[in-house]
Amino acid sequence: MRFQGKTALVTGAASGIGRATALRLAREGARLALADRDEAGLAAVASACGDALTCVYDAADGDASAAMTGDAVARLGGLDALVCNAGVYRRTHFTDMSPQDWATILAVNLTSVARIAQAALPALIAARGAMVSVASTAGQTGVAYAAHYAAAKAGVVALMKSLAVEFAPTGARFNAVAPGRVKTAITAGLAPLAGQNDALIVRPPRLAGRVDGGEPDDLAAAIAFLASNDALYVTGALLTVDGGQTIG
């Protein structure tokens, strides 16, 4: 029960990695606030977690992201762990990518994380707490047909490292996880682009028996570790969870 008596906020909690993380933290004793734009999905997860607090917000709106965080911290009475998981992934040929496409992906996947971090900082510092952001192997290796997403996720890693340096004297910790292929509704629903070269995007995990990708629970375990006191000497780190997908 690593989170007994502790509070946590998880964004993007209605499905996938966020849902798995919320359930994991609840099992380990955390008192939770869960945030997402999917109100029905959020309510279902909150119930499964033992009536966690819920916060409905739009991650594309920076002001809404900050306000949601302030509300969650106030209702929880503090914050020991923050998990920024909310994100969006879209495939677009770079030559077809509009300024709005770029702005939306950056707003949800990077700017929202920064605004949430700013709003949560006083509480995290007071608790000597931990922030864990979900990045992606796309930010490490690049990815065809999603340059905006890869750029945003690389930015998330740089943001966590920068906060780790700036706020190390406070005892608050900032880390990221980088999932590779994970079986979620988002990845399952991806349709191929017209004219896409599959050889540019297919890079199966290497771990035996896991060639179709990881499970959300694999990421939840890594996130829970980084958010817990088991990782008190870990800050500014990127933990890649991809079944060996990015080896070599």
Residues carrying an active site annotation = 149
Nearest Cα residue to 220 out of 37, 49, 41: 49
Residue 35, SS3? strand
Nearest Cα residue to 35 out of 137, 90, 108, 130: 108
Is there a contact between 150 and 143 (Cβ–Cβ < 8 Å)?
yes
Residue 101, SS3? helix
Is there a contact between 18 and 12 (Cβ–Cβ < 8 Å)?
yes
Is there a contact between 113 and 84 (Cβ–Cβ < 8 Å)?
yes
